[in-house]
């Protein structure tokens, strides 16, 4: 079956974006997913809808995605043997996080494995310094930066405050980012290889989800507006479509498309951006995967980001990104001060509100600000969706059994 699959994939797309061989032995494909978190969990659900089977690689047994896939290899994302084990049982490999050993992925690709987005794209993005250099080299507007060759008060002061220190690798959900307004904040420095970035006083943070198919076809979702928790820099509230000037929205969309075309990968990409008070659009970072800013697409768009990603990596035509209703989304974060097995309070009260769609990720334990689930609210207009989402945020609490 693998042979057939690769041949039909290699034939790629003919006229009108349709594969030349429109015939698939069932299951349509065996998809190997590196990373078993919530993004992979939602990807598995979409893949199964399209008649695929999934295998997940994750170090935590019964990971959120492993539970849904029904087939998990327990192992680390840098473990060459486990990555090979996954590749051996999959027709196509993809991932839900950046922190993967790319050396093994490059080897597998050389041996003929189909990996989307490509190891080259992942290698460029997973090191935030290399990513910024890539953006700069391709004329994509982004905040000024330097490599932090030493983590000392002097090097930080020489770059100048306010600044943002970012770990080159391994950061996510604001872990690996330190916003420093002045020299006193140097005490909170991250003792790891880093870059320093100019602090951007953003009026808004937005994200553009872009899907790119194997034939180069690119599609943007309507822009989403992101609001972050001040201290933790983790996404708190998302509104879509974003309430911004149409000319700025067009600029943002153009920049996002240029970015993804320059990278050249296949799949869904999340392009995070700052919009400054005077309307300047700067790329913050790019995620080579489905993205938190697209969770609402499950209920609000014709083709959700997870199905879109599966379509892309299988070389199938991309679906419509049209948004059918305004949507607000909140992340359900673990309550501060607790860890361990979680309890959700306020679930019934939240579900009693019309338009509320609840997603829980099946994580065995909670910790402060850990993403445990999300809620999307659809409504006739953005403001009422937002009001309901904020009510849900007050109603639902996820508490761990151990007090910290």
Ligand X SMILES: Nc1ncnc2c1ncn2[C@@H]1O[C@H](COP(=O)(O)OP(=O)(O)O)[C@@H](O)[C@H]1O
Q: Residue 84 or 229: which CB sits closer to ligand X?
A: 229
404: CB partners within 8 A, 6+ apart: 337, 338, 339, 368
Q: Which is nearer to Mg ion, 196 or 314 (CB)?
A: 196
Per rule CB under 6 A, is residue 199 in the interface with ligand X?
Answer: yes
User: Which listed option, ligand X, Mg ion, none, makes contact with residue 122 (CB within 5 to 8 Å by class)?
Assistant: none
Does residue 177 interact with ligand X by CB under 6 A?
Answer: yes
- Answer yes or no whether residue 273 interacts with ligand X by CB under 6 A: no
Under rule CB under 6 A, residue 143 binds ligand X? yes
Query: What tokens appear for 399 in the block?
Result: 């508490």
Residues 259-278 that bind Mg ion (CB under 5 A): 272
Question: How close are the terminal C-alpha atoms of the chain, in Å?
Answer: 51
CB atoms under 10 Å from CB of 143, counted, come to 17
Give how far Cα 11 sits from Cα of 7, 19, 118, 312, 316, Å. Answer: 6, 7, 18, 15, 12
Tokens 């974006």 belong to residue:
17
Q: Which of 228, 349, 355, 360 binds ligand X (CB under 6 A)?
A: 228
Closest approach, Cβ 68 to ligand X, in A, equals 25
**Residues 91/31, Cβ–Cβ less than 8 Å:** yes
Q: Which stretch binds ligand X (CB under 6 A): 11-19, 21-29, 57-65, 165-173?
A: 165-173
Considering the complex, what minimum distance in angstroms separates the CB of residue 61 from ligand X? 26
227 binds ligand X (CB under 6 A): no
233 binds, among Mg ion, ligand X, none (CB under 5 to 8 A by kind): ligand X
Residue number with CB closer to Mg ion (91 or 272): 272
Q: Does 197 bind ligand X (CB under 6 A)?
A: yes
Q: Is 205 in the site for ligand X (CB under 6 A)?
A: yes
252-268 CB burial, b ≥16 within 10 A, e <16: bbebbbbbbebbebbbb
Give a three-class secondary structure readout of 145-195.
EEEECCCCHHHHHHHCCCEEEEECCCCECCECEEEECCHHHHHHCCCCCEE
**Closest distance of CB 228 from ligand X, Å:** 4
Residues numbered 311-370 forming contacts with ligand X, rule: CB under 6 A? none
Which stretches does DSSP call E strand in 335-396?
A: 338-345, 356-360, 371-378
For residue 143, the partner it binds in Mg ion, ligand X, none, with Cβ less than 5 to 8 A by kind, is ligand X
Contacting positions for ligand X (CB under 6 A) = 143, 164, 166, 171-174, 176-177, 179, 197, 199-200, 205, 228, 233, 272, 284-285
């Amino acid at each position: 079956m693998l042979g057939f699959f690769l041949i039909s994939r290699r034939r790629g797309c003919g006229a009108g974006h349709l594969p030349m061989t429109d015939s698939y032995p069932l299951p349509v494909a065996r998809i190997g997913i590196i990373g078993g978190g919530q993004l992979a969990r939602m990807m598995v659900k979409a893949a199964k809808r399209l008649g695929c089977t999934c295998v997940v690689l994750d170090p935590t047994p019964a990971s959120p995605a492993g539970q849904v896939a029904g087939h998990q290899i327990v192992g680390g994302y840098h473990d060459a043997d486990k990555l090979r084990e996954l590749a051996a049982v999959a027709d196509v490999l993809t991932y839900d996080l950046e922190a993967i050993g790319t050396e093994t992925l490059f080897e597998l690709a050389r041996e003929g494995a189909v990996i989307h987005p490509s190891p080259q794209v992942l290698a460029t993005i997973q090191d935030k310094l290399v990513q910024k250099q890539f953006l700069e080299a391709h004329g994509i507007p982004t905040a000024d930066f330097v490599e932090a060759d030493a983590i000392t008060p002097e090097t930080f002061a020489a770059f100048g405050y306010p600044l943002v220190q970012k770990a080159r690798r391994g950061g996510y959900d604001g872990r690996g980012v330190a916003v420093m307004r002045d020299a006193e904040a140097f005490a909170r420095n991250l003792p790891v290889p880093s870059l320093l970035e100019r602090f951007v006083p953003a009026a808004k943070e937005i994200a553009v989800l872009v899907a790119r198919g194997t034939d180069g076809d690119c599609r943007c979702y309507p822009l989403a507006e992101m609001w972050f928790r001040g201290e933790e820099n983790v996404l708190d509230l998302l509104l879509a479509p974003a309430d911004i000037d149409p000319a700025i929205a067009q600029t943002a969309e153009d920049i996002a498309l240029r970015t993804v075309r320059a990278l050249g990968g296949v799949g869904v990409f999340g392009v995070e951006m700052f919009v400054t008070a005077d309307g300047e659009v700067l790329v913050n970072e790019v995620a080579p995967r489905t993205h938190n800013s697209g969770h609402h697409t499950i209920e609000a768009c014709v083709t959700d980001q997870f199905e879109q990603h599966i379509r892309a990596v299988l070389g199938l035509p991309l679906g419509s990104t049209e948004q059918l209703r305004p949507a607000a989304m909140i992340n359900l974060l673990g309550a501060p001060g607790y860890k361990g097995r979680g309890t959700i309070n306020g679930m019934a009260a939240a579900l009693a509100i019309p338009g509320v769609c609840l997603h829980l990720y099946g994580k065995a334990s909670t910790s402060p600000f850990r993403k445990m689930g999300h809620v999307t609210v659809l409504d006739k207009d953005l403001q009422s969706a937002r009001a309901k989402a904020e009510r849900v945020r007050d109603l639902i609490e996820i508490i761990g059994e151990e007090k910290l």
